[in-house]
Structure 1
Amino acid sequence: MLITPGERRARLGRRHLLLPGTRAARTEEVADALVGLHATDAASVVLSSWARLREPRLSDVERALYEDRTLVRMHGMRRTLFAVPADLVPVVHHSTTTALIPRERATLLKHLAASDPARDGEWLDAAREAALTALAGLGEAGTAEVTAEVPALQETIVLSPGKRYEARQRVGGSVLRLLAMEGRIRRGRQLGGWASGQFRYTLAPEMPAMDPADARAELVRRWLARYGPGTTDDIKWWTGWTVAEVRGALARLAPAEVRLAEGTGWVLPEDLDSPPETGGEPWVALLPSLDPATMGWKHRDWYLDPEHRPLIFDSAGNGGPTVWWNGEIIGAWAQRDDGEVVWRLLADRGAEARDAVAAEAARLHDWLAQRRMAARFPAPLTRELTS
């Protein structure tokens, strides 16, 4: 079975809730439709939701994250932060996050021992437990508050010694990051505005046990349901797993094989019984940096002209804010210091597309109003727009 680029673009618009008629009522529905929201850039959680909600409200995102806690910020795929539905936390943790912990711990121990060999694994374990005790007493607290309660966390480490960008910092932040990866604490409310990348922490409920192989199969099942079809390379890139882990998960699922422009792809078997999806109503979207639609696949030629990739992605592979039309990235946008939302098209899709982009940019400008945001990972074209 062949699935064409046009069919894939139609699937993306519908399954990622970007067609106006598919928009969601609540932020949890958005996160579920995307298997989580990229959260390394805090503003992206809000703006990815904004593009997919029928009535976008910052208060609804904050409700899900901080009041109902139906969304949880955690380290996951490719060592990056995601805001995932609470029921998916064990799946992400056991499929992906647990494999990150040994490296994170080893790196921290290396930094600790560089200035004092006595700061070994036992020292670190004692500091971790002291941090948990302090956080239990504080309730929800930022790194500075927890560090002030625990003398060991006030010790310093040197990052990148001898380099131009050498930095010295207290160990408290690194210890809390490790505890969060271990699933013992969670990120709570932000310190600062809606786009701030600093958070308070709170103790986490006990992590349910789960077989890692089962967890990997479940995560791939969800990815195929929301992003399929995709190749083995796409899944490997999105998850950050080894080829063997991806193949093991696919073997458990027994997905259906399909043909794509870039080679063999996979879909869930029930997808074969669905009629081919067509474009439907025209749609436009202004999506933030690291939006799941931008970052969902390794092979992107079916939704992004290869010549435009160096303008949309930075050298590390981070996608900047994008302009979409009917399943294609056709340009980029940014917010300037004065609050103006500006955009530039890289592909001409006619007057209807230009008018729709202008209207969507005006809608976003009105919603942002007095809010200010700067993409944490600005692509080259984003920098041009704000220079």
Structure 2
Amino acid sequence: MRFTDEQRRHRLVVRHRVGAPPPATPPSVEEIVDGVLVLHATDPATVYLSVLARSSAATLDDVREAMYARRSIVRVLAMRRTLFVAGLDDVPVIHAAASLGVARRLRTRLLKELRTVPTDPPVPDPEAWLALVEDGVDAALRAAGTATGAQLSTAVPQLRTAILPTTDKAWDVRRTVTSPTLALLSAEGRMVRTEPRGAWTSRHHTWAPIEAWFEGGLPELDEAEARTRLVERWLEVFGPATVDDVQWWTGWNKTDTRAALARLALVDVELDTGPGIALPGTEPVDPPAPGAALLPALDPTPMGWKERTWYLGAHRERLFDRMGNIGPTVWWDGRVVGGWAVRSDGEVVHRFLEDVGSDAVEAVEAEVEHLQARLGGATFTTSFPTPLERELRA
């Protein structure tokens, strides 16, 4: 079977709700998250904006209610050591398939630093020290219900242990072990990031025990089986794709990637970019009517594949930073055609990077006006500003 770039873009529009005609019944926040598997959450604003981009009826409060009142979606540290928001049904699979591997690397790194780098105070037995800290954090968090990192470091003074600089490099500074230790415990499924202090754009999250979302804790799954289940879910959302796309998105090595794929009955397909794979039953969809969308920085759609030319065109240099993080993008008919930003006064501004025609211009301008009204003057900055975004915010 062959899938042209155009056919893949049609599937992207329909499956990811990127400029697709709105359904008769607006999708819930949970349905939107399920439809794209995960939302990127490195920037808190991205979670909200990714939902708003896929439903003209959703509000900021709707997203907050799903995350913190219904607790039907939750933040997880997972693929590529990246922070995501996922639905409760997918979290156990993601945890076993990706988070546990991240946790092992974080634990190894932290213990190595404690053994080899000077600390204040000294840590003569890193393994015993970390076990003591883990128990202390668990007890303190259960007693408090929710707590900030600062509150936990007050309850567990060992978290204020500092790793000392060993060079004169600008980045080599005194830093406490609070953040890496809490990140480790979250990757191990013992605690989760919950509602931040401050506005919806705040990065100052509080922490809560995992039992606040999963009674009795996360279920234990076989890691190999979980990797296969995660690949299957990913192909439901992002297929057809390439094996390199799968490996890049998951962050696995080649051995784990091939083993996970080998357990699935896949269909070989031909893409315009070369050989690809798909789940049985993956078929082209009817071409949807052209539509516009404003996707935020690090949205799961443009960050879903390693090979992006088929929807990005020649715009990588303007829309990505040097680390491979995409900024806010303007979409028309399943393609990236420009970028946008929010200025310090709350104005939403945009720029086209190619000639798209009057229909597209009119539709995008309507999306810009609608988004600005929904944000209500809120401002935010992305963690990884791109060249075009810097220009637009100036």
The verdict on a shared fold, with TM-score over 0.5 as the criterion, is yes
Q: 1:111–1:158: 8 Å Cα contact kept in structure 2? A: no
Partner of 2:22: 21
For 1:204, the equivalent position in structure 2 comes to 210
Per-residue deviation at 1:335?
Answer: 0.4
In structure 2, what is the equivalent of residue 255 of structure 1? 266
Which amino acid is the alignment partner of residue 136 of structure 1? R
Alignment coverage as a number of residue pairs: 383
Task: Provide the C-alpha distance between the structure 1 equivalents of 2:102 and 2:386, rounded to a whole number of angstroms.
Answer: 27
CA shift, 1:26, in A, is 1.3
Gaps of 5+ in 1: none
Q: Aligned letter for 1:302?
A: W
Q: Which moved more, 1:352-361 or 1:106-115?
A: 106-115
Q: What's the counterpart of residue 384 of structure 2?
A: 377
Q: Is 1:172 paired with 2:178?
A: yes
Decide whether the 8 Å contact of 1:311 with 1:379 is kept in 2: yes
SS of the residue corresponding to residue 74 of structure 2 reads strand
Identity within the alignment, %: 42
Deviates more, 1:99-108 or 1:72-81: 99-108
Aligned to 1:295: 303
**Partner residue, 1:221:** 232
Compute the displacement of 1:185 (Å).
0.7
- Structure 2 Cα separation of the partners of residues 119 and 109 of structure 1: 10
Shift of 1:210: 0.8
- The reply on whether 1:329 has 2:330 as its aligned counterpart is no
Q: How far off its partner does 1:380 sit?
A: 1.0
Is the 1:111–1:159 Cα contact (8 Å) retained in structure 2? no
Deviation of 1:167 after TM superposition, in Å, equals: 2.6
CA distance in 2, matches of 1:55, 1:168: 47
Q: Deviations over 1:195-250 (max 9, x none)?
A: 11221111113121111121111111111111111000011111111122121121
Distance between the aligned counterparts of 2:202 and 2:135, measured in 1? 27
Residue range with higher mean Cα deviation, 360-369 or 112-121: 112-121
1:298 is matched by which residue type in structure 2?
Answer: K
Contact 1:6 1:278 (8 Å CA) reproduced: no
Residues 17-70 of structure 1 show CA distances to partners (whole Å, capped at 9, x for unaligned) of 221324842111111001110001111000000011241211111111111111
Q: What CA deviation, in whole Å up to 9, does each residue of 1:320-369 have, x standing for no partner?
A: 00000011000000001111111111111111111111111111111112
| Number of the residue aligned with 1:65 | 67
1:166 deviates by 2.6
TM-score computed with the length of structure 1 as normaliser: 0.96
Q: Which position in structure 2 is the counterpart of 1:4?
A: 4
Cα contact 1:24–1:52 (8 A) shared by 2: no
Is the partner of 2:302 in helix, strand or coil? coil
- State how 1:1-387 maps to structure 2 within 5 Å: 1-18=1-18, 19-22=20-23, 24-113=26-115, 114-115=117-118, 116-158=122-164, 161-205=167-211, 206-271=217-282, 274=283, 276-305=284-313, 307-387=314-394
Distance (whole Å) between structure 2 residues aligned to residue 254 and residue 246 of structure 1: 15
Distance 1:25 1:280 in 2: 18
CA contact (8 A) 1:36 1:82 kept: yes
In structure 1, C-alpha distance between the alignment counterparts of 2:166 and 2:55, rounded to whole Å: 42
User: What's the offset of the Cα at 1:125?
Assistant: 1.0
Q: Which moved more, 1:62-71 or 1:110-119?
A: 110-119
Distance 1:366 1:54, change over 3 A: closer
Q: In 2, distance between residues paired with 1:168 and 1:41?
A: 25
Task: Report the aligned-residue RMSD.
Answer: 1.5
Query: Which sits farther off after the overlay, 312-321 or 361-370?
Result: 361-370
Greater CA deviation, 18-27 or 47-56?
Answer: 18-27
Structure-1 separation of matches of 2:177 and 2:305:
36
Q: TM-score, normalised by structure 2?
A: 0.94
| Helix, strand or coil at the partner of 1:329 | strand
In the alignment, the residues of structure 1 paired with residue 66 and residue 266 of structure 2 have an alpha-carbon distance, to the nearest angstrom, of 33
> 2:106–2:180: 8 Å Cα contact kept in structure 1?
no
What displacement does 1:121 show?
1.0
Cα separation, 2, equivalents of 1:26 and 1:54: 11
In structure 2, stretches of 5+ residues that fail to align are 212-216
Name the SS for the 2:147 alignment partner: strand
1:76-129 CA-partner distances (Å, limit 9, x unpaired)? 111100000011111111111111122211222233332225151111110111
Q: Which amino acid aligns with 2:263?
A: R
Distance apart, 1:161 and its partner CA: 4.5
AA aligned to 1:172 is T
